[in-house]
Amino acid sequence: MQFDSTLPIWLQLVTEFSRRIVVGLWPSGTKMPGVRGLAEELGVNPNTIQRALSELEREGLCRSERTSGRFVTEDTDRIDQLRAELAEGAADEFVSRARGVGLTRSQAQQLLTDRWDHHDHHRDDSPRPEGARDD
């Protein structure tokens, strides 16, 4: 994972961990990787990982069990809500950038359709994470 120097790392980790939950890399109800393992995987301080995981817990995306570790929420409605929030953020960013380069709404819609179709053609060749959706 590459980090953006303009944003706090822990916030970027919250986004990445949220993505992992939404796409099913960390399925609902399963045990999440430990702090030390994530810190090693991502090359960041364990305290930074802990801060990001604490925020996920505050947002209702995981829960801690004192002796067993952290688990992804079993609340699939909450995960669907998170999916919608992440998609809205991506859509807002796309609209802002498309407007910034002078695209009209119809040009932006066509670009999105073309890119969606382009990615569909390449999807058949790549494995899909468990729980990923086509719609």
Q: Supply the DSSP symbol for 29.
A: T
Average predicted confidence (pLDDT) for the chain? 91
Whether residue 60 is predicted with pLDDT greater than 60 in this model: the reply is: yes
- With vertex at residue 119, the alpha carbon angle to CA 115 and CA 120, rounded to the nearest 5 degrees, is 115
Distance between CA atoms of residues 63 and 74, nearest Å: 10
Q: Where are the domains of the chain?
A: 9-72, 76-119
Q: Does domain 9-72 have CATH number 3.40.50.150?
A: no
- For 65-86, how does the pLDDT look when each residue is reduced to its tens digit (9 = 90+)? 989 999 999 999 999 999 999 9
Is 56:11 a contact under the CB 8 Å cutoff?
no
E strand or H helix at 19, and its extent? helix 9-22
Q: What is the pLDDT of residue 122?
A: 76
Percentage of the residues of the chain whose pLDDT score is greater than 90: 85
| pTM passes above 0.95 | no
Question: What number is the average pLDDT over the span 21-31?
Answer: 97
Q: What is the pLDDT of residue 77?
A: 97
Calculate the CA dihedral of residues 40, 46, 48, 51 and round it to 10 degrees.
Answer: 130
